[in-house]
Every structure is written in structure tokens, then in C-alpha cells.
Structure 1
Amino acid sequence: MRLFLLPISTRRSLLYCERLNITTKNEQSGSWIDKGKNKAAAIWVGWGEKEKGWKRWVSDNGNKSLQRIPFEEWGLKSVPPLSARRQEDEAKENRRIEVSFPSSIIPEEKVLDVLRTLSTERVGLHKQRLIYSIVGMPLVAPLAIVPVIPNLPFFYLVFRAWSHWTALSGSKHIQFLLDKKLLKPEASPILDKLYARNKNPFATPAKSSGPTEERILLTEDEGKDIALVLDIPELFLELKRAVWQVERSLASQQKEAAVVQEQEVDAVRKEKGIDAANEEKKDR
């Protein structure tokens, strides 16, 4: 496998794993989990192709919900689980796994630190949400008695439980590779060209009095270019989702900042008004 560390903004990056060892359809569907995933994906695609009806409605709204799942979770899910056999093989062969990144954006000495953060910062959240999903399954299971329409809440909780478990597994795998020093950061000239318009935003200006403002580093079209140049078509969806989420987050932060600023201005005006009124009383 090969890892990619792709900055989305000056403070957030997408971790993506390309599974180089998966080459055939039979290898992808060798386990019952893979077969279940493939079957569910086929059904989901079929529902999305319906012209109308409840299946199309569920598909459209379900895709909107999937779009809101944090891109950090999707990134960890791209990392294969650390099975006992894989752990033994990776440790025994002592093969270092390449981490491709744009050195014009992320200094090489920060790569492993960024990976450590991405693999640990959401562990508690995924564990908590996994428990909530498992606990919720028996509570919504009785809804299966409703005819025609499947038990959507139950299947959603099953999906979320699987998603959190997969993210935890990916996190565990990355931490294992870090602890065993099996990761090899490799600056990518290709990524550097694609990120050429950004000049080392991770560096803090010497005279800066506070943290630098976060800014977006990619557009959807640029994400498409990265997936195309790297010849990883599925990466485009991950980058598209990440860009969309970060853009929405930054827009929300800007709105909140504008509201706070407006409140501060109003408070100053009010204070000045009170002072002016007091001065007028004194003059009288």
C-alpha cells in the first residue's frame, strides 16, 4: 500500500491509502465483509438509478448524509485493518511504506507528526459513536415489522458502527506503522507542481503575533486534477468531499466571526452612547 498526505487547507489534510496489493476482483471480494460491502453498494447504486419513488428518495437523502461524514473518517477508512497476519508480515519484512506529500506545503519533518495527529485525534470519538450505534440497534430493530419499507434506522446504525470500527482499525494500523518506524516520507514532485501556487503556509511569520488564519488550498477542479495525474480515480470523491466540508466550515467560521465583530461594535457604540449621555447630564 501507499499513503498520501494531501493538504486541504493550511490546517487540515486528507490521509488517503492506495491499496497497491489489491489487483483482482476475486481478491477484493474474498471475505464475507467484502461480499457484503459489494452487495450493499450494488443495491445502493440501483436505488439511485430509480426515476422516482421511496428508493430514490432514500438514495438522494442518504448520499447527502454520507457527504457530511467527516473526511478524516473516510481517510482512516481507506487504510486496511491491521490483521495479525499483516502485522506480522510488515514487522518481519521491515518494509517501509511510502508516504507521498507536497513538500512545498508540508515540511518533511512535520509529515510523521501530522500522521500521528490524524491517527489519534478522533479515536475517542469513534469509540464513543461505535458504542452508541451498537446500543441503538436493538432499540430500532422492532421497526422491521413495518411492511414494504426496510428498517432504515437499523441499517443506518449498522453502517455507522461498521464505519467507526473501520476508522478505528485504520487508525490502529497507522499508529503501528509509526511506532515501528515503517513509514518513509517521500516528497512528490508531481504534488509540488499541483500545489505550486501555495508557498509553505505551514511556516509562521517571524513577526506574527498570533496563529495564521486558515485558508483553503484546493478547489474541486484541482482535486480532480490530482486524482487524474496520480491515476487514482476514487481519490477524486475523497478530495471533493474534503474540499466541500472545509469550505463550509470556513464559511461558517467567517459568519460567526462577523457576528461577534458586529456584537463588539454594537457594545462599543452603546458604551459611547452611555458616556455621551453622562457627559450631557454633567453639562446640565
Structure 2
Amino acid sequence: MRLFLLPISTRRSLIYCEKLHEKAVAERTIFDKVTVKANETWAGWEKDDKALWNWKNKVTFYGNHALKQIPYEEWGLKTIPALTTKRRKAILEGTEKYHVMFPGLYLHQEKVPEILKKLATERQAMHRSKIVWSVIAMPFTIPFMLIPVIPNLPFFYLVYRTWSHWKAFSGSKHLEFLLANNLPTPNPSWELDEVYTAGLMYPNRLISRAAPRPTKEQAEEVSRVVEQQTNDGAEDVMVLQRWNGKLIAEQFKLPDMEVEIERAVEQVEKSIKAKDELVEEKLELEKATAEAGKTAKDALPKDLIHPLEELDKKIHEKAEDIAEKSDETTKR
């Protein structure tokens, strides 16, 4: 089984597990059958524009928007299958091999175990808690069953979130078990280095396809520039472009990987941008208040400064009176 550890930025990575094969219909569990049916229903709703009040299109539109807000870490863990008794036995006996593929020039091999452990354990408690609260909330959706035509959407949403958290929790436990047994085996991938470098060298997918493949020297130079941009790890720098997800998915013939990468890149980009904006606001405020030796108080309007000065004066006078009385008491 191949796991892909894909750095989105210099501090955040996506884990993706390759699907080995599609199960035959006869081998599918109840969960598999329900999942397939739900996916088919959702796809049908997206195309159905004949429903009353066009509710199916609206539900899928806002539903897809809500799905985008689910953290990419959860989506990544969901790709790892549950740890069955059969898999556990195969791992312990060494009959099933696990490899983790990653771009060695953009993610140092010594950091791989630490990142995998963080991905495996960091969100377990949260997923467990969310499962419990989603189940507890389900009975409160019963009144929505009285709405005609439209199904009980809040109930189905809670069912989906329960399943999603369970899948992510199961994937994290599987990964944790692998790490406890010194798996998976790290495998730096030149193919990933090559695609990552192309994504950083070229402005879009079209040019990247037409341009020559990056050489090893070019890849090393680009990775060195990225390392410099981090200022010795102080800055979080993007290393993966959204349009590059399709090229990576094509490289390894894993079409489902594309949407996972694009979602992760979008979320990390927003997070970095929001952090940068906060830092910029803070710097502007400090610059405004420190200009010409001013303090924050100096930057206040005059009509506010005078009352503050009067209050400050009264506080000092009161403190002096207390000190004098204390001295007199001591002398006595």
C-alpha cells in the first residue's frame, strides 16, 4: 500500500492513501453500499433542475460549499482504510508492505516520522468527541421530518459528519498502528520532486505541460530558494500550486488525488493569507504609534488625552497621600 505525504507549504502536509482496487459488489460492506448510494444520489441531485423550488440544486450547491470547509487533514485521513483484523495480522507478520512517497527535496526525510505521528494522533480526540456529539444531536432533528417534499437534511448532515469523523478516526488509528510497528518505509520520490519543481518554475498547467522537464540541478536550486524564503523556518511558504494537483494525480494515475490536493492548497493559502494580514495590521499599528517617538497614547485624539491625563494626575496624588499617611504611622 502506498501513502503519499505531500507538503502543501513548508509547515503543512497532506496525507493521501492510494486505493488498491475497487471492491466487487459482492464484497462490499453495508457502509460501502450506503456510501456508493449516497454518492450516486448526490450526483443525481446536482443535475436535477426539475425539483420543486429547485431545492436539489440549492442543497447540493450549499452542501458542496460546506464540504469545502471540512479540514483537509480530515479528508486525507479518510483515504486510509480502517485497520481490520486481517490487515493487523498482515502488518504484524510482515506480509503487507507499506511505503510513504514524498518529494525529498521539499520535505526532509528525517521530518517524515514526526509529521506522520502528528497527523495520526493530533486530531483523534477531536474526531472521537465529534462522533459523540453528532449522535447526541440527531434526535433534535426529528421536527424537520414534518417539512413536506424536502427530506430531513439536518439529520442526514449529522449522519454524514458522524461517518466522516469515524472514517478519519479509523484512518488515524491505522496510521498510528503502522508507526508503532516501524512502518511505512520512507521513499523519496524524484517524480514528485520533478512535478513540484515544475509547479514552482512555471505559471500555469498549460505551460508546465509544454515546457521541458526540470533537471535535477534546477530542482535543487528551486528547493534552495524555497528554503531561503522560510527565513530559517520562521515563515510558512507555499510549495504546491492548486493547478499542480492534476499533474501529480496524472503522474501516479490516481485521479481522486486531484481534488484532495486542490482542497488542501486552497485551505492552506487562505490560512497563510489571513495570518499575513494580521501581521501586516499589527506592523501598521506599531508603525503609526511609534512614528516620531510617539506611543499609543500619543496617537489618541486630544479630547481623549486630557481626561486621561487628569485621571493619571489624581491617581498619583492619591498614591502620594497614602504614602505620607503610611510614613506618619511608622514614625508614631
Counterpart residue number, 2:19: 19
Alignment of 1:123-272 (within 5 A): 123-196=124-197, 197=200, 198-199=222-223, 211-269=233-291, 270-271=294-295
Q: Which residue of 1 aligns with 2:36?
A: 38
Q: Quote the Cα distance in structure 2 between the aligned partners of 1:124 and 1:61.
A: 28
Q: Confirm or deny: 8 A CA contact 1:103 1:187 kept in the other structure.
A: yes
CA-CA distance at 1:193 after TM superposition: 0.8
CA distance in 1, matches of 2:238, 2:172: 25
| TM-score of the two chains, using structure 1 as the length reference | 0.88
The whole-number CA distance in structure 1 between the counterparts of 2:151 and 2:283 is 49
Single out whichever of 73-82 and 126-135 deviates more from structure 2: 126-135
Partner of 2:3: 3
1:50 to 42, 48, 51: 48
* 1:272 shift after superposition: 8.0
Structure 1: how far apart are the matches of 2:68 and 2:297? Answer: 48
- Please tell me the root mean square deviation across aligned C-alpha atoms, in Å: 2.5
Identity of aligned residues (%): 40
**What per-residue deviation string (whole Å, max 9, x for no partner) do you get for residues 159-207 of structure 1?**
11111111000000000001011311111110011123541689689xx
Q: Which moved more, 1:38-47 or 1:106-115?
A: 106-115
C-alpha contact (below 8 Å) 1:105/1:201 kept by paired residues: no
The C-alpha deviation readout for 1:33-64, integer Å capped at 9, x for no partner, is: 10000000001001111236010000000001
Task: State the alpha-carbon separation in 2 of the partners of residues 251 and 272 from structure 1.
Answer: 27
The TM-score with structure 2 as length reference comes to 0.76
**Worse-matched range after superposition: 243-252 or 68-77:** 243-252
Amino acid corresponding to residue 154 of structure 2 in structure 1 = P
Q: Confirm or deny: 8 A CA contact 1:106 1:202 kept in the other structure.
A: no
In 2: Cα distance, 1:25 partner to 1:252 partner: 45
Structure with the larger RCO, 1 or 2 (CA within 8 Å, 6+ apart): 1
1:63-142 counterparts in 2 under 5 A?
A: 63-142=64-143
Contact 2:226 2:239 in 1 (8 A): no
> Aligned equivalents of 2:224 and 2:163: distance in 1?
37
Work out whether residues 9 and 268 of structure 2, in 8 Å CA contact, stay in contact via their aligned partners in 1.
yes
Q: Deviations over 1:197-233 (max 9, x none)?
A: 541689689xx6x742111111121111101111111
The 2-side partners of 1:7 and 1:93 are apart by 28
Equivalent pair of 2:289/2:298 in contact (CA under 8 Å): no
Structure with higher Rg: it is 2
Deviation at 1:19, TM superposition (A): 2.1
Query: How far off its partner does 1:25 sit?
Result: 4.2
Native 8 Å contact 1:3 1:100 kept in 2: yes
User: Given residue 157 of structure 1, which amino acid in structure 2 is its aligned partner?
Assistant: L
8 Å CA contact 1:3, 1:98 repeated in 2 = yes
The answer for unaligned runs of 5 or more in structure 1 is: 279-284
